[in-house]
Amino acid sequence: MLRKLLKYDFKAVFRYWWIAALSSVALAFAGGWSISVFTSEKALPTAVIVLAILVAIIAVLGVFAFSLLTVIFVYSRFYKNLFTDEGYLTFTLPVKRSQLLNSKLITGIVAGSLTGFVLLIDVIIALCVGLPDIFFNAELIRSFIDEVALEIIRETGFYLVIYILEALLLFILVGIFSNLFIFCCITIGSIIAKKAKIITAIAIYYVANSVFTFVIQIFMLFGVDAVTGWIAGIEENLFCPIFALIMLCGILFIGTVCTMLYSLQYWMLDRKLNLA
């Protein structure tokens, strides 16, 4: 049944997403042209420079809009499918609440990952079009490989594979956390408010996000210097395994938070919803 739920969620989210993705790629080419104008050593007409500025602004706004649209597609689907009149039908389906949640969570992670990939492609396209002398310079590429890439491989060795795997896992866990965090805000807003549920959910998100940001700032203020000093004092032959262990601790911490958020979200869907 989860497969069928994913089919309908993917269809709802990606129905117009691909149009926005292609538009962002087109805007990346336009932004690359703007970069080529700004970096050109030729004396260009004022009209061309003004046009390049306008194109650059439109490109940046368009790419930002693409990211925003992905968020809207994912979370509006979550809200409409569970907390509007459509929810009366959704919760009568012969599926578990966990399957409903898992489908929304997987859809959000996939949509966010694809959006991030498209944005990366947009940046590469813009830089390749705007700075071809740098990105298509064989000597510069060879120098980067010899002096940077190979040096990293020599210094880290087998631990580089561990770093990559841990980074991928962290990326997935951060995606899970961000989706569950917003899901919980939407659910709480829909539970405590009979009207203006979206406004309530947005208010809850900003309050919770402000608290989270405050905690991070406190850590940055008092903890970063201590951690940096501790890392600087690590012996060179122990740096790689200790750094891998630090990343593992981060994975365990975020994984624990995700588990708590998932349990809270499932509990609210299973026990606290009142669709009567």
Q: State the Cα–Cα distance between residues 46 and 190, nearest whole angstrom.
A: 53
- Contact 31/60 with Cβ under 8 angstroms? yes
pLDDT of amino acid 208:
87
24-52: per-residue pLDDT in tens?
Answer: 999 999 988 888 887 777 777 778 888 88
Higher pLDDT among residues 225 and 44, named by residue: 44
Check whether 253 has a pLDDT greater than 80. yes
Question: What percent of the chain lies above the pLDDT cut of 70?
Answer: 82
Q: H helices within the chain, ranges in order? A: 2-14, 17-38, 46-83, 85-90, 97-130, 132-135, 138-144, 150-156, 159-192, 197-222, 224-232, 236-267
Cα three-residue angle 62-64-70, rounded to 5 degrees: 105
Q: What is the CA radius of gyration of the chain?
A: 23
Q: State the Cα–Cα distance between residues 262 and 34, nearest whole angstrom.
A: 44
Residue whose token pair is 């992905």: 70
pLDDT category at 73 given cuts 50, 70, 90 is very high
214, two tokens: 């405050």
Q: State the Cα–Cα distance between residues 70 and 108, nearest whole angstrom.
A: 9
165-185: per-residue pLDDT in tens?
Answer: 999 999 999 999 999 999 999
Q: What is the DSSP letter of 147?
A: I
Q: State the Cα–Cα distance between residues 63 and 72, nearest whole angstrom.
A: 14
Range of lowest pLDDT (59-68, 228-237, 243-252)? 228-237
Q: State the Cα–Cα distance between residues 184 and 191, nearest whole angstrom.
A: 10
pLDDT of amino acid 224:
57
208, two tokens: 């919770």
Higher pLDDT among residues 226 and 1, named by residue: 1
pLDDT of amino acid 202:
87
